[in-house]
Amino acid sequence: MNLTFNNQLLRKSQSLIALFLLCLLIALLSDKFLTTSNLWNVLRQISVNVCIAVGMTLVVLMAGIDLSVGSVLAFSGAICAGLIKFGFAFESLDLFVGFTVLGGILGAMLVGLLLGLFNGWVITRFVVPPFVATLAMLTIARGLTMLYTKGIPISNLGPGLEFIGSGWLLGIPVPVWISLIVVLVFVFISRKTAFGRYIYAIGGNEKAAFLSGININRIKLAVYGLAGMLAAIGGVLVTARLNSAQPNAGMTYELDAIAAVVIGGTSLSGGVGSVTGTVIGAAIIGVLNNGLVLLNVSPFWQQVAKGVVILLAVIIDKMNRKEA
Amino acid sequence: MINGLTVPVTFNILSNMKKSILYLIILLGLAACSSGGSGSEETKKVAVVISTLNNPWFVVLAESAAENARELGYEAKIFDSQNNPATESDNFENLIASGFDAILFNPTDADGSIVNIMKAKAAEVPVFCMDREVNADDAATSQILSDNYSGCVEIGIEFVKALDGRGKYVELLGLVGDNNTWARSGGFHSVVDEFPGLEMVAQQSADFDRNRAMEVMETILQAQPDIDAVFCGNDAMAMGAYQALQGAGKADAVKVFGFDGAADVIEKIGEGKIVATGMQYPKVMARTAAEYAHEYFNGRREFPQRVPVEVELVDAGNVDQYQE
């Protein structure tokens, strides 16, 4: 018991140590890194990936994957912008509904939730592998975004939404507040609730979880729904940040989210990992992106560097698990 | 034209007799089929094959090409190659097989797309390139091209004038694997590098993406707070860079330059917030290509291989001509 506890502690702290070393290295190479304005930039820039990656963590903990989050982000962001700017018209009823900023955000979250639930429904009802089901959603949601926006950005969405993207509250940028709340809520859910324990149980051994009476399909449905909703929150943040919904927003964001999850020590085979680990993983990616630009490293090398970091993280993780 | 077709075929026969004869038979069969299938009475079908629809600029190009073809009395259909020469190849095979009579083509790759055009040529389907060129003179029937390089030479001249030949600047590149990125960067540097007083303090990629440009610019401003200007490889990045400068309170001190002629950048030039952009004419290119296809159907066979469509510099002096 004591031994496993120590191992867990080591596993948890190892990504934290990696983050610390990376920060140290960049701080030694650039005196601009450890300034408050730069650190706020890093935190604000990772807030979108944190939201998506928290959802991805729950999915991966069940040994699933969600490739659709980048497209769901784009579609919900566009819905948020469209509802705020144009409202929604029920033509058959000759009824027009205008939306406040909050209404637009809730609408976007609902859309994200529905797309996520659809993923979950396809995966559980038709036993389609999550990789395939969410790959299909990746192109469906991107297509829906194109249909809704006609391929053209929706811009100038007013000061309310702009505040959410660029404003400050009690000395902290609003997007950082939002991602902080998301993290706290999901740390609580994953650690302290029965729902959270069921997620780990399904990822650890699906058959055993089923035999012990867990309604696996319902849990899966809920987790994919939540992942979609969190992607939608990311979509609101990106849209608010630019005060504009871009039809090509969120391209390859699913890969950054998966990278954050994996670097944070969550096993792709499920059952092992944590939301806090993912936050550290997202921070490592964010600091790396920031440092490479601060040091004006060539864009070609940046891609190589990011790949090498992901590889190192996974290899160290594997070696650790063998020792344990 | 006839010479152009027979030369490669004879060459093939010499190089590999059996295979080429087979190829010739298939080719003749196909040609017979396609000319038999598309009888003069039926409406001709025009395919618009576009490199990507995930970018508003290309959506405009694709849709105006299709609209122009429809206005001339043809059926038109848009195919999306998703920035992938392999998808493009599938698109070509499918549309040749389903009897399209002409292709208005926006290639994914200057070299990789040549083989696709050759397939269409073998099936006697004329191909008219729009915006992006392919590195071959005997493949497409005609190429109607936006001159990215010269356009950015103009921007470079304006850049040097605006800065009086002295100062520190940042360049935001587009996707590093895209030839437009390097044509634009090359045109710009061909002028700016002649002035030793102009120092490029950072050159980073922001993938033609507004959000990415904002993030990269925020980080660059940490390392290089005293810059005088930013040159961006497209207008989406110019908007993102401008927003980052605005957030840092430096929007008035730093001169921003873009490329494309997007509506939001034109608006900012009108307000005096962005200095200049290069106006490209996707609608002109699309119309010219559609008209060429129309003339081809009416018997014209001689077309200029390259038709340059000029990129016009838009700055405070002439912006009123471009505002709606």
Helix locations, chain A, DSSP H: 2-29, 36-61, 69-86, 101-125, 130-149, 159-166, 174-192, 194-204, 206-211, 216-242, 253-263, 275-294, 299-323
CA distance A5 to chain B (A): 39
List all residues 6 or more positions away from A288 whose beta carbon is below 8 Å from its beta carbon: A22, A305, A306, A309
Range of the domain at A116: 31-323
Contact between B238 and B258 under an 8 Å Cβ cutoff? The reply is yes
Q: Collect all residues of chain B within an 8 Å Cβ-Cβ radius of residue A247.
A: 54, 56
pLDDT at B29: 46
In a domain, A205, yes or no: yes
How many CB pairs below 8 Å do chains A and B form together? 81
CB atoms under 10 Å from CB of B324, counted, come to: 5
Q: Check pLDDT > 60 for residue A312.
A: yes
Q: Which residues are bridge partners to B145 per DSSP?
A: B131, B308
Query: Which of B:277-316 have CB within 8 Å of A?
Result: none
Token pair 């016009």: residue:
B312
pLDDT at A267: 87
In a domain, A23, yes or no: no
Q: Which residues of A touch B (CB under 8 A)?
A: 30, 32-33, 35, 37-38, 41, 45, 142, 146, 150-153, 155, 166, 238, 241-244, 246-249, 251, 289-290, 293-296, 299-300, 302
In a domain, A2, yes or no: no
Q: How far apart are CA B79 and CA B50, in angstroms?
A: 6
pLDDT at B8: 45
Helix (H) or strand (E) holding A173: strand A172-173
A45 — pLDDT class (breaks 50, 70, 90): very high
Name the percent of chain B in helix, strand, coil, to the closest 5.
Answer: 50, 20, 35
Of B176, B222, B236, the CB nearest to A38: B222
pLDDT at B268: 94
Of B56, B204, B211, the CB nearest to A242: B211
User: Higher confidence at residue B109 or residue A169?
Assistant: A169
A9 — pLDDT class (breaks 50, 70, 90): low
Q: How far apart are CA B27 and CA B160, in angstroms?
A: 54
Q: Strand, coil or helix: what is A244?
A: strand
Q: Please tell me what DSSP assigns to residue A100.
A: -
pLDDT at A235: 96
Of A32, A152, A299, the CB nearest to B222: A32
CA distance A217 to chain B (A): 35
Q: Is B216 close to A35, i.e. CB distance below 8 A?
A: no
pLDDT at A7: 62
B32 — pLDDT class (breaks 50, 70, 90): very low
CA distance B153 to chain A (A): 23
Domain count, chain A: 1
Q: Which residues are bridge partners to B230 per DSSP?
A: B170, B256
Q: Is A142 close to B54, i.e. CB distance below 8 A?
A: yes
CA distance A222 to chain B (A): 30
Task: Identify from A166, A242, A243, A288 which residue to disrupt to test chain B contact, counting B C-beta atoms within 10 A and taking the largest count.
Answer: A242
Beta strands per DSSP E along chain B: 45-50, 75-80, 102-105, 127-131, 142-146, 167-173, 198-205, 229-232, 255-257, 276-279, 306-309, 312-315
Q: Check pLDDT > 50 for residue B33.
A: no
pLDDT at A322: 64
Q: How far apart are CA B2 and CA A133, in angstroms?
A: 50
Token pair 């292709």: residue:
B103
A95 — pLDDT class (breaks 50, 70, 90): confident
Give the neighbor-by-neighbor strand order of the sheet with B276-279: B198-205, B167-173, B229-232, B255-257, B276-279, B312-315
Q: How far apart are CA B318 and CA B277, in angstroms?
A: 11
User: Higher confidence at residue B38 or residue B262?
Assistant: B262
The DSSP result for B34-45, as a single string, is HHHHS-TTSPPE
Question: Once rounded to an integer, what is the mean pLDDT over residues B210-232?
Answer: 95
Contact between A68 and A137 under an 8 Å Cβ cutoff? The reply is yes
Question: Once rounded to an integer, what is the mean pLDDT over residues B291-314?
Answer: 91
Give the CA count within 13 Å in the CB-facing half-sphere of A247.
21
CATH number at residue A257: 1.10.3470
CB atoms under 10 Å from CB of B3, counted, come to: 7
CB atoms under 10 Å from CB of A255, counted, come to: 14
Q: How far apart are CA A199 and CA A220, in angstroms?
A: 8
In a domain, A8, yes or no: no
Question: Once rounded to an integer, what is the mean pLDDT over residues A25-37?
Answer: 91
Question: What percent of chain A shows pLDDT beyond 90?
Answer: 64
Q: Collect all residues of chain B within an 8 Å Cβ-Cβ radius of residue A246.
A: 209-211, 236
Question: Once rounded to an integer, what is the mean pLDDT over residues A32-60?
Answer: 94
Q: Is A248 close to B55, i.e. CB distance below 8 A?
A: yes
Phi, psi of A193 (to 5 degrees): -110, 160
Q: Check pLDDT > 90 for residue B249.
A: yes
B124-144 tens-digit pLDDT: 999 999 998 888 888 899 999
- Among A89, A88, A91, residue whose Cα is nearest residue A103: A88
Q: How far apart are CA B318 and CA B316, in angstroms?
A: 6
Q: Please tell me what DSSP assigns to residue B311.
A: P
Q: Strand, coil or helix: what is B145?
A: strand
Radius of gyration of chain B (CA): 22
List all residues 6 or more positions away from B90 whose beta carbon is below 8 Å from its beta carbon: none
B19 — pLDDT class (breaks 50, 70, 90): low
Of A41, A299, A302, the CB nearest to B222: A41
List all residues 6 or more positions away from A19 whose beta carbon is below 8 Å from its beta carbon: A280, A283, A284, A287
**Six token digits for residue A21:** 């070393």
How far separated are the first and last CA of chain B, in Å rounded?
43
Q: How far apart are CA B23 and CA B16, in angstroms?
A: 10
**Six token digits for residue B147:** 């001159």
Average pLDDT over chain B reads 86
In a domain, A251, yes or no: yes
Question: Once rounded to an integer, what is the mean pLDDT over residues A1-29?
Answer: 76
**Six token digits for residue A5:** 């506890």
CA dihedral B60, B65, B67, B72 (to 10 degrees): 160
Interface residue B220 vs chain A (CB under 8 A)? yes
CA distance A155 to chain B (A): 9
In a domain, A134, yes or no: yes
Amino acid at residue number B72: L
Question: What percent of chain B shows pLDDT beyond 70?
Answer: 87
Q: Strand, coil or helix: what is A302?
A: helix
User: Higher confidence at residue A322 or residue A111?
Assistant: A111
pLDDT at A4: 54
B4 — pLDDT class (breaks 50, 70, 90): very low
pLDDT at A12: 63
pLDDT at B14: 44
Q: How far apart are CA B70 and CA B41, in angstroms?
A: 17
Q: How far apart are CA B293 and CA B60, in angstroms?
A: 19
Give the CA count within 13 Å in the CB-facing half-sphere of B27.
18
A210-225 tens-digit pLDDT: 999 899 999 999 999 9
B41 — pLDDT class (breaks 50, 70, 90): low
A175-222 tens-digit pLDDT: 999 999 999 999 999 999 999 999 999 999 999 999 998 999 999 999
**Six token digits for residue A308:** 């090498």
Q: Is B222 close to A248, i.e. CB distance below 8 A?
A: no
Q: Check pLDDT > 90 for residue B165.
A: yes
Q: What is the pTM assigned to this prediction?
A: 0.78
Helix (H) or strand (E) holding B211: helix B210-223
CA distance A154 to chain B (A): 11
Q: Is A35 close to B203, i.e. CB distance below 8 A?
A: no
Q: How far apart are CA A27 and CA A34, in angstroms?
A: 6
Q: Collect all residues of chain B within an 8 Å Cβ-Cβ radius of residue A152.
A: 56, 59
This model of the complex carries an ipTM of 0.79
List all residues 6 or more positions away from A172 whose beta carbon is below 8 Å from its beta carbon: none
pLDDT at B82: 84
Give the CA count within 13 Å in the CB-facing half-sphere of B182.
5
In a domain, A317, yes or no: yes
In a domain, A178, yes or no: yes
Assign residue B262 a region (left: φ > 0; alpha: ψ between -120 and 50; beta: otherwise). beta
Of B59, B210, B219, the CB nearest to A152: B59
Q: Strand, coil or helix: what is B49?
A: strand
pLDDT at B35: 44
Q: How far apart are CA B52 and CA B106, in angstroms?
A: 9
Question: Once rounded to an integer, what is the mean pLDDT over residues B50-58?
Answer: 83
Question: Would the CA dihedral through A11, A12, A18, A21 be positive or negative?
Answer: negative
Q: Check pLDDT > 60 for residue A46.
A: yes
The DSSP result for B5-29, as a single string, is HHHHHHHHHHH-HHHHHHHHHHHHH
- Among A256, A221, A253, A248, residue whose Cα is nearest residue A75: A248
